[in-house]
């Protein structure tokens, strides 16, 4: 029978088969031949419920480690911690590089002002990035977010303290995810979610993941130039196929920045990403 790995803890693989959970383990040589991750679709034998095969993955994300994703929701708080354009563009580039559709979710709208929110949304909408504004406290935007999950495997990704678990609890109170505090002294959130876990929702799954404060892009400069949000199609019109959009002639990206079709703020963060990957 076929199921999906919804959590892994202490060597026990919890497999969801038609909403029935089985504690399982890989049979024989399979445990040495193949690494199994949350999100993997597997075959269990009907007698001992051991994992006897892994179905080919359609997608894979290294961090957080999860298989067979349909989409990523990048969760960023407007306040505590303050919104970071740089991290948002970095995570979006990472999602594009892994060929997984990503949208931006802004949390804690109750702690921000309308002008700031509108500015952020306009920047990303201009680049074709769907952006949602939410407040778990005031139930703002939660119903709109709920509609995104139907029949999909979705992972929530973001720093500690940005409100991932609060958003999950607002979506479905039965999840009862632990909520981390935000430390004003440290300027970051406290880790509460300790593992990747798939939560069933609307014929799909929502993956809650541990928050993290840093992400290294294992990419070269040309890959950043190709996968930076809003650049892909226009970059094909650059004179040079390996254009880095810095000082090359007939660069379509630079043309769009100069005429305001690509926000200057986005381009400035793109240059920062190029500097970062050059150090690795």
Residue 238 has pLDDT above 50, yes or no: yes
From the options 3.30.390.30, 3.40.50.300, 3.30.420.40, 3.30.465.10, give the CATH code of 60-208: 3.40.50.300
Express each pLDDT in 208-217 by its tens digit. 887 665 678 8
Domain boundaries, the chain: 2-54, 60-208, 221-278
The whole-number pLDDT of residue 66 equals 94
Domain 221-278: state its class: mainly alpha
**H or E element that contains 66:** strand 66-67
Residue 187 has pLDDT above 50, yes or no: no
> pLDDT tier at 185 (50, 70, 90 boundaries)?
very low
From CA 8, how far away is CA 5, in angstroms rounded?
Answer: 8
Tokens 């440290």 -> residue? 186
The whole-number pLDDT of residue 180 equals 39
Relative to beta strand 197-201, strand 204-208 is: antiparallel
DSSP class of residue 6? E
The whole-number pLDDT of residue 168 equals 86
Q: 230's torsion region: left (phi>0), alpha (psi -120 to 50) or beta?
A: left
Express each pLDDT in 135-149 by its tens digit. 888 889 999 999 999
**H or E element that contains 124:** helix 114-126
From CA 230, how far away is CA 188, in angstroms rounded?
Answer: 29
Q: What kind of fold does domain 2-54 have according to CATH?
A: OB fold (Dihydrolipoamide Acetyltransferase, E2P) (2.40.50)
> pLDDT tier at 17 (50, 70, 90 boundaries)?
very high
More confident: 243 or 232: 243
Sign of the CA dihedral with 170 first, then 78, 276, and 262 last:
positive
> pLDDT tier at 184 (50, 70, 90 boundaries)?
very low
The whole-number pLDDT of residue 176 equals 62
Residue 253 has pLDDT above 90, yes or no: yes
Q: What is the pTM of this model?
A: 0.86
Residue 190 has pLDDT above 70, yes or no: no
The whole-number pLDDT of residue 178 equals 45
From CA 97, how far away is CA 61, in angstroms rounded?
Answer: 10
Mean pLDDT of 27-32: 82
């Amino acid at each position: 029978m076929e199921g999906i790995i919804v959590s892994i803890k202490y060597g026990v693989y919890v497999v969801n088969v038609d909403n029935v959970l089985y504690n399982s383990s890989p049979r024989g040589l399979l445990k040495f031949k193949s690494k199994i991750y949350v999100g993997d679709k597997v075959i269990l034998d009907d007698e001992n419920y051991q994992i006897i095969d892994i179905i080919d993955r359609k997608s894979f994300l290294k961090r957080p480690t999860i298989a067979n994703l349909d989409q990523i929701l990048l969760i960023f708080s407007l306040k505590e911690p303050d919104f970071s354009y740089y991290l948002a563009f970095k995570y979006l580039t990472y999602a594009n590089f892994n060929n997984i559709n990503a949208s931006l979710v802004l949390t804690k709208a109750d702690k921000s002002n309308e002008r700031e929110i509108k500015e952020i949304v306009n920047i990303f909408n201009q680049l074709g990035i769907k952006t949602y504004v939410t407040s778990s406290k005031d139930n703002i935007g939660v119903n709109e977010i709920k509609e995104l999950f139907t029949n999909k495997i979705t992972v929530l990704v973001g720093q500690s303290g940005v409100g991932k678990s609060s958003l999950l609890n607002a979506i479905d109170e039965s999840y009862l995810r632990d909520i981390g505090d935000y430390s004003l002294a440290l300027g970051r959130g406290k880790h509460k979610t300790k593992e990747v876990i798939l939560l069933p929702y609307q014929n799909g799954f929502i993956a809650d993941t541990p928050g993290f404060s840093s992400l290294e892009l294992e990419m070269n400069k040309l890959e950043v130039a190709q996968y930076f949000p809003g650049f892909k199609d226009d970059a094909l019109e650059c004179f040079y196929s390996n254009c880095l959009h810095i000082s090359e002639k007939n660069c379509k990206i630079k043309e769009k920045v100069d005429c305001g079709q690509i926000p200057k703020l986005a381009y400035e963060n793109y240059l920062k990403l190029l500097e970062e990957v050059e150090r690795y």
